[in-house]
Amino acid sequence: MAAFTLRTPSLDDVGAIAELHRESWRATYAGKVPPSILDAVAEPGLREAQWRQRLAPGWAERGERLVVAEVDGRLVGVAWSRPTPESEAPRPRALEQLWTSADVHGTGVGAALLDAVLGDAPAWLWVHETNARAIAFYRRRGFEAESPRVTRYDGPPYDFRMVR
């Protein structure tokens, strides 16, 4: 694989980020979540609208951190973290998104994205209990399941919270 670069995204990147988000989600969760959920994630225009809103002017002033990774001009990863004003948040910063193309798994792209948006700061995130690759990735970077275990959504499979 060619070397990757990290950079701050712009509104011009919305389409590529949205497509990466959809494709990464499908590749990660096919066979692990109901097809109706996979279809909902792929709803035309949904991810574009979300990423357009996320990248609207003012995101940096709110303390959010957004970074994309590229290989030969192709977007292969995205990460987003934000301060957590919620009173129940276990740490001051949340990792909200970290997606990479399957073809760059194990190359250091994900670790570089994580470092770019969190560094070694105390943080928390949600991870799907069926996503063994992500759970192992986060454990190698100091995250552990919160104890007692905290989950979201109404039924299995769950997302659970990891903290460091």
pLDDT of residue 53: 94
Dist CA 137 CA 140 (whole Å):
5
Average pLDDT over residues 30-45: 83
Confidence of residue 158 (pLDDT cuts 50, 70, 90): confident
Q: Assess contact for 33 and 131: CB atoms under 8 A.
A: no
- Spell out the CATH class of 4-163: alpha beta
Dist CA 107 CA 141 (whole Å):
15
pLDDT of residue 1: 60
> Any idea where the domains of the chain sit in the sequence?
4-163
- Read off the pLDDT of residues 73-115 as tens digits, 9 standing for 90 and up: 999 999 999 999 888 889 999 999 999 999 999 999 999 999 9
Instruction: Give the global pTM.
Output: 0.91
Residues 6+ apart with CB under 8 A from 146: 90, 124, 160, 161, 162, 163
